[in-house]
Amino acid sequence: MTENRSLRHIGLILCLLWLLLAAFPLYWVLITAFKPPLAVSQGPTYIPFVDYQPTLQAFRDAFAGLRGDFTGPIVSSILISITSTALSVFLGTMAAYALVRFNYRIRLVSGLAFATISIGGFVLLDIFTDLRVPYALGLVLVTALPVAIWLNGRALPGPVMGNDDVTFWFVSQRIFPPIVSAFAIYLLFAEMGKIGLPLLDTFGGMVIVYTAFGLPFAVWLMRDFLSTVPLEVEEAAMVDNIGRVRIFLQIVLPMATPGLIATSMIVLAFVWNEFLFALLLTTGDWQTLPILLAGQNSSRGDEWWAISVAALISIAPMVVVSTILGRMMRSGLLSGSIK
């Protein structure tokens, strides 16, 4: 019993220390947003009303649009983030479930065939024909995919990759440094725009890209959460001849709720804060908050009060989200076995 208490004490001290460390920068941002320029340029000041007289000027400037339009990006960020997160978590959880319950076998040969046909085919089309990029891409995809699937069905030699490799493939999409990918996607979207399907600076374009971003997280994380869901409940339901889809929606998902919530928050955080693709793929209509935030780092000088206001505005919706979802994670309430 005493051991429990001393452990709880250590836990408490740790939490308090971390609270201090985590909260201090946020506190600093909060007070700096209210500082007049002199309270910054003459040295650090810590307590409003004591060290300096707080002012709302920075907020007024921000909402007057002096440092870039705020309202547009806020709406854009909210709409794009929520949609992409919902889509990627849902589709990703489905894929994760499949990876946990079913067995996939993909022959290396068919994978290589897909790669060769798609890449090689595209290069050949590019060099020898005048076919525009989107058409060429579509053509090779439509050719390579069925061929690879057909090959997979044949009994061919060579190693066979399983579920773990499929998962690894998902996650490996996150490894590639975003620089060239961003440029390439811009190119692709620009070309699509030229053949009549505008994807640049559109809601649809951003959602597709961000869903593809969130999927690796969703698959990788949900696979572990779903694997802790006990099999017996599902088997019982299957005996009763309930369809897989219903089992998934009505039994498995509710049981994995803590994991779902955690994953959703993670994906939301990533999409909300993504910068590079948003920069390249949006122009005036769908510019998101991170671009605005980066824009406060102007060549004119670090105007810390402006940066703080922008940071506060960017994080405000996230505070709401984390409060709501955090409450849903109350310990013990949603844990494991629902008999």
Partner 1 sequence: MKKLLLTAALLPLGGMAAAQCAPDFTGVTLNVSTNTGPAIASALSAAAEVWEKKTCGEVNVIEFPFGELYPKFLTAMSQGTGDFDVLGFVPAWLPDFAPFLSTMPATLQDGSNWEDIHPTYRERLMVWDGEVKSATMDGDMHMLNLRADLLDNPEEQAAFEAKYGYPLAAPVTWAQYRDQAEFFTRPDQRMYGTAEAYRRGGQQFWYFFSHAASYTNNPNHPGSMFFDPETMDAQINNAGWLRALEEYKAFLAFNPPGALNNGSGDVRPLYAGGTVAMNVDWADSGILRATEGSEGAKGTVRTAMLPGSEEIWNHKTGQWDKFPEVVHSPFLAFGGWQLGVPGDSKNQEAAWDFVSTVVSPEVSGKAIVTANSGVNPYRFSHYDNLENWGSVFTPEEAASYLGAQRASLDAPNVALDLRLPGFFSYTEVLEIELSKALAGEVEPQAALDTIAAEWNKLTDEFGRDKQLAAYRASVGLPPLQ
Partner 2 sequence: MTSAAHQQDRVKHLFIWPAVLIVLVVSLFPLIYALTVSFQTVRIVPPTPPRFVGLANYAEIAGSARFWGAIWTTALITFLSVALQYALGFMLALALHHNVPGTALYRVTFLLPMFLAPVGVALIARMIFHPYLGPVNDAMAGLGFAYVPFLTEKWPAIMVLALIDIWQWTPFVTLLMLAGLQGLPQEVFEAARVDNISAWRRFWGITFPMLLPLSVAVIFIRLIEGFKIIDTVFVLTGGGPGTATETLTLFAYNEGFKKFNLGLTSALSFLFLIVVIVFGTVYLAAAQRVTRRFA
Contact residues: partner 1, CB under 8 A: 36-38, 40-43, 61, 65-69, 183, 186-187, 190, 193, 200-201, 279-280, 283-284, 287, 291-292, 294-302
Task: Report the partner that residue 30 touches, choosing among partner 2, partner 1, none (CB closer than 5 to 8 A by kind).
Answer: none
User: Which lies closer to partner 2 via its Cβ, residue 157 or residue 194?
Assistant: 194
Out of 119, 142, 231, 236, the only residue in the binding site for partner 2 (CB under 8 A) is 119
Count, residues near partner 2 per rule CB under 8 A:
118
The sign of the torsion formed by the CA atoms of 253, 257, 259, 263 equals positive
Label residues 237-270 b or e (16+ Cβ within 10 Å = b).
beeeeeeeeebbeebbbebbbbbbbbbbbbbbbb
Q: In this structure, what DSSP letter does residue 66 have?
A: B
Binding of partner 2 by 195 (CB under 8 A)? no
Supply the minimum distance, in Å, between the C-beta of residue 40 and partner 1.
7
Element (H, E) at 161: strand 160-161
User: Which lies closer to partner 1 via its Cβ, residue 34 or residue 217?
Assistant: 34
**Within the chain, where are the H helices?**
2-32, 37-41, 57-63, 71-101, 108-115, 121-128, 133-153, 163-172, 178-194, 203-227, 231-239, 244-247, 253-255, 257-273, 276-281, 289-295, 304-328
User: Which lies closer to partner 2 via its Cβ, residue 56 or residue 319?
Assistant: 319
User: Which lies closer to partner 2 via its Cβ, residue 124 or residue 157?
Assistant: 124
Binding of partner 2 by 242 (CB under 8 A)? no
User: Which lies closer to partner 2 via its Cβ, residue 6 or residue 49?
Assistant: 6
User: Which lies closer to partner 2 via its Cβ, residue 118 or residue 157?
Assistant: 118
- Tokens 């709720």 -> residue: 257
Task: Report the partner that residue 14 touches, choosing among partner 1, partner 2, none (CB closer than 5 to 8 A by kind).
Answer: partner 2
Out of 2, 43, 155, 157, the only residue in the binding site for partner 2 (CB under 8 A) is 43
Interface of this chain with partner 2, residues 299 to 318, rule: CB under 8 A: 302, 304, 307-308, 310-311, 314-315, 318
Task: Report the partner that residue 92 touches, choosing among partner 2, partner 1, none (CB closer than 5 to 8 A by kind).
Answer: partner 2
Choose one: 53-61, 62-70, 196-204, 244-252; the region binding partner 2 (CB under 8 A).
Answer: 244-252
- Tokens 């079913």 -> residue: 102
Supply the minimum distance, in Å, between the C-beta of residue 41 and partner 1.
3
* Cα 211-217-223 angle, rounded to 5 deg: 120
Angle between helices 108-115 and 133-153 (to 10 degrees): 160
Choose one: 48-56, 57-65, 194-202, 326-334; the region binding partner 2 (CB under 8 A).
Answer: 326-334
Task: Report the partner that residue 300 touches, choosing among partner 2, partner 1, none (CB closer than 5 to 8 A by kind).
Answer: partner 1
Maximal C-alpha separation, the chain:
79
Which tokens go with 297?
């780092």
Measured in whole angstroms, the distance separating CA 225 from the mean position of its chain's CA atoms is 18
